[in-house]
Amino acid sequence: MTDDESEMTEDRDVSQGRRVFLGMGAAALAATAVTSREGAAQQPPRRRADIGSVTDRLGQQAHWRSTELRLLRRITMGLTPFEVTRIGQLGFTNFLEEQLNPTSIDDTASESVLQARYPAYYYTQAQLLARDSVFWDECSRPIMRTVIERAITSRRQLEQRMVEFWADHFNIPLSTPRVVDYRDVIHRYALSTFGDLVRASMRSPAMLIYLDQVWNTKYGINENYARELMELHTVGWDGGYTQADVNALARVLTGWTMDGNRNFQYRADYHDFTAKVVMGQVFPARPPAAGTAGMDEAMNFAEFLIHHPATARFVATKLLRWFIRPDPTPAQVTAATTAFTTSNGDIKTVLRAILTPANIATAPAKLKRPFHYYVSVVRGTGAVVDAWPDPAQWDGVTGHLWDNAHAPFSWQTPDGFPDKADYWAGLMVNRWNAVSSVLGNWSGTTPGRYPRFNPALFLTTPTPLGVVTEIDRRMFGGEMSLPLRSELLSLFGSSTTANATQATLAVHLAACSPEAQYY
């Protein structure tokens, strides 16, 4: 379509555009001590950007000095004194290893509360099936609350970040079978191997329904799942397949469906036994047969996809974007991809290659998505989320995540919520309103509708400096910036003591502040 010359014109246009869009940002950067000029300068200008924001890679928070705290910000849903103390005891590597092995962390304090509060999340397939007709009124909010509250209270914080990642990677909007998928595919294999996830997802009725695989039979092809299995789940949009490959893979997948009880089932009588070629993989024609005959075709092709070099690169790069930066360097991509390939997609091995001290220390601050932000505000402020007893009624926890367009399971298309600052940043007012709802003790006569905030947590030393120091300790790991410290202190005016109203106000400003938006 374009010749070389217009390509070059395009590049000039893009770089000019960056100057236009970034000009004010750079001026603001230069004018403030909050952001590191060195950090910005260290990043060489990139002529061609990767997927992601032009605007969220402007540098680092210079006052984030500790590599351990930088790791904590990346692999948790927000700092709390517990994790800060823990990493102080264990150090970078041992803390990461502990988090990489979630079963080594006792999480009964979190899990027992959730089980008691929200049985809907734990229903078996049969129990859920029996509640199909009342699912939305009786189960949807408890399930969302479980997801939100576990992110807040679980000590397996890296696992929670990975659950969030895979829930987007294999996105399915909320439905009765999605609960089973989220629990038995996404959560179960979040730190296992990539192959485990793909194999389980291919047998997950929620996925087979959502992407129309249940309609894909030899009597009529439906390409939906075949395409997304390659494009979104494995080799990626530039993974080297063609439209003919999509169609042929759909035929390979015929017969993968479910039974009347919504369990996975292979139906040989639906399978297309004629010859197929997908991405160069040959499936010769064979005589139709019963039982599991023909099922091996999709199983074999899944292994081909799982072990394809494009898959390693696609998934490793996406994980780098998730944890490190929107524009990972070629060296970072190579290291993570190699770890993926040599470990056969072992997720822990890939994460060790990504979450290195060097990568963590140089990672530019990244805008929290609204879910991450909300959870981090609750965690940092010590607000308590009580049980929400009435699933049919609106509640302020899921409500404010809806208001931020980031309620669990609410993304309707299979690509999952965007991991891009440009998509989310515009909702800043919605974020601040969510902070008000966390700190405002708005529940009134409906206990549990909103979080419960106790300003006394910040009044152990009831002076302005005492409150600010406690905010720094709880919410920022002791690395609060000087401009924020000075803004907080000035809230107290000439007062030498601090009361609950003042403490709440200070916590509010800290939670809304620019540096609380990033991790």
Near another protein in 9-28, by CB under 8 A? 9-11, 13-14, 16-17, 20-22, 24-25, 28
Residue 322: what residue type? W
From 211-219, 289-297, 309-317, 463-471, span contacting another protein (CB under 8 A): 211-219
CA distances (Å), 468 to each of 434, 461, 508, 518, in order? 22, 10, 12, 19
End-to-end CA distance of the chain: 41
- The interface with another protein within residues 122-141 (CB under 8 A) comprises 135-136, 140
> Whose Cβ is closer to another protein: residue 357's or residue 514's?
514
Q: What's the closest the beta carbon of residue 440 comes to another protein, in angstroms?
A: 8
> Whose Cβ is closer to another protein: residue 110's or residue 224's?
224
92-99: long-range contacts at Cβ-Cβ below 8 A with a sequence spacing of 24 or more? Answer: 92/67, 92/68, 92/357, 95/68, 95/71, 96/71, 96/158, 96/352, 96/355, 99/75, 99/156, 99/157, 99/158, 99/159
Q: With contact defined as beta carbons under 8 Å apart, do 395 and 300 qualify?
A: no
Furthest-apart CA atoms within the chain: distance in Å: 88
- When asked if residue 517 is in the footprint of another protein (CB under 8 A), the reply is yes
- The interface with another protein within residues 327-346 (CB under 8 A) comprises none
Among 6, 112, 115, 261, binds another protein (CB under 8 A): 6
Residues touching another protein, count (CB under 8 A): 106
Closest CA to 78 of 175, 173, 5, 157: 157
Q: How remote is the C-alpha of 342 from its chain's centroid?
A: 25
What whole-number distance in Å separates Cα of residue 211 and Cα of residue 177?
13
> Whose Cβ is closer to another protein: residue 84's or residue 230's?
230
From 67-75, 101-109, 119-127, 216-224, span contacting another protein (CB under 8 A): 216-224
Angle at 440 between CA 434 and CA 445, to 5 degrees: 110
Among 39, 52, 391, 408, binds another protein (CB under 8 A): 52
> Whose Cβ is closer to another protein: residue 98's or residue 422's?
422
Q: With contact defined as beta carbons under 8 Å apart, do 405 and 105 qualify?
A: no
Q: What's the closest the beta carbon of residue 231 comes to another protein, in angstroms?
A: 5
- The interface with another protein within residues 277-316 (CB under 8 A) comprises none
- When asked if residue 273 is in the footprint of another protein (CB under 8 A), the reply is no
Q: With contact defined as beta carbons under 8 Å apart, do 191 and 100 qualify?
A: yes
- When asked if residue 78 is in the footprint of another protein (CB under 8 A), the reply is no
- When asked if residue 212 is in the footprint of another protein (CB under 8 A), the reply is yes
- The interface with another protein within residues 338-397 (CB under 8 A) comprises 365, 367, 394, 396
- When asked if residue 99 is in the footprint of another protein (CB under 8 A), the reply is no
- The interface with another protein within residues 397-436 (CB under 8 A) comprises 398-400, 402-403, 405, 407, 410, 412-415, 418, 421-429, 432-433, 435-436
